[in-house]
């Protein structure tokens, strides 16, 4: 895993976040997130697009101290007292609104950090000392629209901000076998491999039509929520400059991909 980046641009990350219990567990996934945080260093701020905040329109958190949301059905009582007390950033929220001119980006004073944010950031930046803004996912728009919207956010990487998409490339909780972690359906592995190949080839457009990706797509992505954060991360890529690193490309419980990726800018300032 790379350890240094040029000052002129920060990387962009997609994190396969899996269970919210990862917030407090030490495993191969959380170790990789900790390593990423150490390699990137402390950014000016962080923008997270999480699979767990879906809205009609675009909203960004704009409060000074966002609350920690326990957005699950109390099946994880050990997490009910968990807090990730990172500050918000009105400056970053305003910059997102500026970059997305024409999209009527609304400031939210009622959301906070959901499990797709704190389960990851607790390992990337455990001191919770980096300002964080979360942006919602507009549920009424196409994958192509989300990609175009993500492209408008690319400038943040040159301004000292870290962009993170938090979801899962394959996520079918209905078909998951939670009794067998080290198990993956063939269709889940095939879909993950197909997507990874398109990413390596710089063929992002192929990912904007799930039906065209084959019959596995309906099983791997029964809903777009966990797939869309990947689209946002890829949309910020400079194909001519960024190198792709795949991290923990595992499928677990049959139908949950834990693959993460980092887009590392060239170390050559020229």
User: 153-211 pLDDT, tens per residue?
Assistant: 999 999 999 999 999 999 999 999 999 999 999 999 999 999 999 999 999 999 999 99
pLDDT at 75: 78
User: 126-163 pLDDT, tens per residue?
Assistant: 999 999 999 999 999 999 999 999 999 999 999 999 99
User: 50-91 pLDDT, tens per residue?
Assistant: 999 999 999 999 999 999 999 887 778 899 999 999 999 999
pLDDT at 267: 66
pLDDT at 3: 43
Domain ranges of the chain: 12-264
Which string of DSSP letters, residue by residue, matches the chain? ------TT---EEEEE---GGGGT--SHHHHHHHHHHHHH---SEEEEEEEEEEESS-EEE--SSPPBP--S-SS-GGGTT--------HHHHHHHHHHTTTS-PEEESS--B-HHHHHHHHHHSTT--S-EEEEEEETTS-HHHHHHHHHHTGGGGGGTEEEEEEE-SSB-TTT--TT-SS-B-HHHHHHHHHHHHHHHTT-GGGGG-GGGG-THHHHH-SSSTTTHHHHHHHHT--TTTPEEEEE---EETBTEE--EEEEEPPS---
- The architecture (CATH level 2) of 12-264 comes to 3-Layer(aba) Sandwich (3.40)
């Amino acid at each position: 895993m790379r350890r240094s980046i040029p000052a002129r641009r920060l990387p962009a990350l997609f994190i396969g976040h899996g269970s919210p219990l990862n917030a407090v567990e030490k495993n191969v996934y959380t170790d990789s997130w900790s390593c990423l945080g150490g390699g990137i260093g402390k950014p000016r701020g962080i923008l997270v697009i999480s699979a767990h905040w879906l809205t009609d329109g675009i909203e960004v958190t704009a409060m000074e101290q966002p609350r920690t949301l326990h957005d699950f059905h109390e099946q994880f009582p050990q997490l009910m007292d968990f807090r990730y007390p990172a500050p918000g950033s009105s400056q970053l929220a305003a910059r997102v609104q500026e970059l997305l001119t024409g999209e009527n980006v609304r400031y939210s004073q009622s959301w906070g950090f959901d499990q797709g944010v704190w389960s990851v950031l607790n390992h990337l930046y455990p001191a919770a000392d980096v300002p964080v803004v979360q942006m919602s996912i507009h549920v009424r728009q196409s994958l192509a629209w989300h990609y175009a919207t993500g492209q408008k956010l690319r400038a943040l990487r040159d301004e000292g901000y870290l962009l993170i998409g938090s979801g899962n490339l394959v996520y079918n909780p209905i078909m998951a076998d939670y009794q067998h972690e080290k198990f993956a359906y063939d269709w889940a592995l095939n879909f993950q491999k197909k997507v990874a190949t398109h990413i390596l080839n710089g063929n992002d457009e192929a990912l904007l039509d799930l039906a065209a990706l084959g019959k596995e797509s309906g099983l791997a992505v029964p809903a777009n929520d966990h797939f869309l954060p990947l689209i946002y991360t890829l949309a910020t890529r400079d194909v001519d400059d960024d190198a792709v690193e795949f991290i923990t490309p595992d499928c677990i419980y049959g139908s949950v991909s834990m693959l993460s990726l980092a887009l590392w800018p060239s170390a050559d300032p020229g």
